[in-house]
Amino acid sequence: MRQVIEGKVYDTESAQLIHKWDNGHNPGGVDLCAEALYRTAKGASSLAGSGGALSPWSEPVGEMRRGAAGIRPLSAEEARTWLEEHDAAAEIIEQETLFSP
C-alpha cells in the first residue's frame, strides 16, 4: 500500500514492518480490523490498516459506512502506545531507536 499524506510518501513495501495485529474476526466481516506498524528509512512511523464497516478504518458512504484501508502517520509516542496496547513488548525493546526523542 502506498499513500501520500501531507506531502510525504508512505509505502508499506519499502518500509520496515515492526508489528502486525488483527482482532481475529472473520475476514470480510463488518467488525474485522487488521493493522501493521511500519517505520520508514527516514524514521517516520505509520500505521497501515484495513477493516469492515464497524472498524476504525471504515469510511462514510451517504448515511452508512463501508470497509476501507489506509495509512495513518504516527508520532514516536503514538507508535509506542500502539505497541503497548497490542502486547508487543519485544518490538518495543528491539526498536528502541524508533521512540527516541
**Span 39-95, pLDDT tens digits:** 988 888 999 999 999 999 999 999 999 999 999 999 988 998 998 888 777 676 666
What pTM value is reported for the model?
0.84
Q: Over 90: is that where the pLDDT of 32 sits?
A: yes
Phi, psi of 34 (to 5 degrees): -135, 135
- Are 79 and 37 in contact by the 8 Å Cβ rule? The answer is yes
One-letter amino acid for residue 24 of the chain: G
What's the grid cell of residue 52? 469492515
Alpha helices in 1-101 (DSSP H): 76-85, 89-94
- Residue 100 in any domain: the answer is no
Structural domains in the chain (count): 1
pLDDT of residue 27: 81
Q: Is residue 12 very low, low, confident or very high in pLDDT (cuts 50, 70, 90)?
A: very high
- Residue 85 in any domain: the answer is yes
pLDDT of residue 55: 95
Residue 63, domain extent: 2-95
DSSP E strand boundaries for 1-101: 2-5, 8-11, 16-22, 33-39, 45-51, 59-61, 64-66, 68-74
